[in-house]
Amino acid sequence: MPHRFYLPPENCTGDSFKLAGREAHHALHVLRLKRGDEIVVLDGARGELICEIENTSRDSIFVRVKKRNSVAAPPCSITLLVAIPKGKIIESIIQKSVELGARRVVPLLTDRVVTRLSEDERNHKREQWQQVAVEAIKQCGAAWLPKIEIPMEIEKFLAQKEKFDLSLVGSLQTERRHPREIISEFQKVNGHLPKSAAVWIGPEGDFTLGELKTIENSGALPMTLGNLTLRVETASIYCLSFLNYELNP
């Protein structure tokens, strides 16, 4: 299997182009690739380019496109809104989000999130976590690169007034339904599956009652994740797995 690399779509439109920076360094100095080797370049926006290395320099690789494959977008665009857990667990969540077809991840700073970030730290974290997503598409071969948003509060996200066909929130409260029941009801009412979906996952200890009410007032429907209390990362994987299976067959 050829090694995979990432290059933004605007940088790989011609029949030949250059890999530089982090990607070229990895190819040249870690993988020791050379002229004539075949590689795959992913542009994160449906493009999968089969390329051959034409030439190399000390810090660049010049490639020629042999074949362009185009991968259709999933029928439903899924956004994961997840409270930031302690440590580096968010990086694992982002990796799994790529593998499970999420189109966007919004890290949330909620009342029970331990992490507190300044504006500069939020921008730095977003860049760092976006690179985690890049590495994940290279590992699994996903043609679509999810957008990782700057960490934000619930109110700030809701102030953007984004609309989703279906919005769900994992809840430990009593008034909640199984997500399959919610999806079946949506399909019965609308005659089709949702084309956009959001799923909210709270921190350790769940959202506060006030936060949950705010999220539900925005249109999110409370759903059960079973009888057990799941970790943030487990709940994220569970929800994305279920939604990807149900909405992106």
d(CA 199, CA 220): 8
Residues 8 and 60 in one domain: yes
Residues 150 and 233 in one domain: yes
pLDDT of residue 224: 92
Residues 107 and 230 in one domain: yes
Picking from 13, 43, 70, the residue at the C-terminal end of a domain is 70
Those residues of the chain that have pLDDT short of 50 are none
pLDDT of residue 174: 64
Strand order in the sheet with 196-201: 147-148, 104-108, 77-83, 196-201, 166-170, 221-223
* CATH code of the domain containing 60: 2.40.240.20
Residues 86 and 54 in one domain: no
Domain range spanning residue 83?
77-247
**Token reading at 7:** 């290059």
Residues 98 and 209 in one domain: yes
Residue appearing with tokens 């985690």? 132
* CATH code of the domain containing 121: 3.40.1280.10
Residues 179 and 239 in one domain: yes
Residues 209 and 232 in one domain: yes
Number of domains in the chain: 2
For residue range 61-112, what is the model confidence (pLDDT) as tens digits? 999 999 999 999 999 999 999 999 999 999 999 999 999 999 999 999 999 9
pLDDT of residue 175: 80
Residues 185 and 232 in one domain: yes
d(CA 196, CA 164): 5
Residues 97 and 217 in one domain: yes
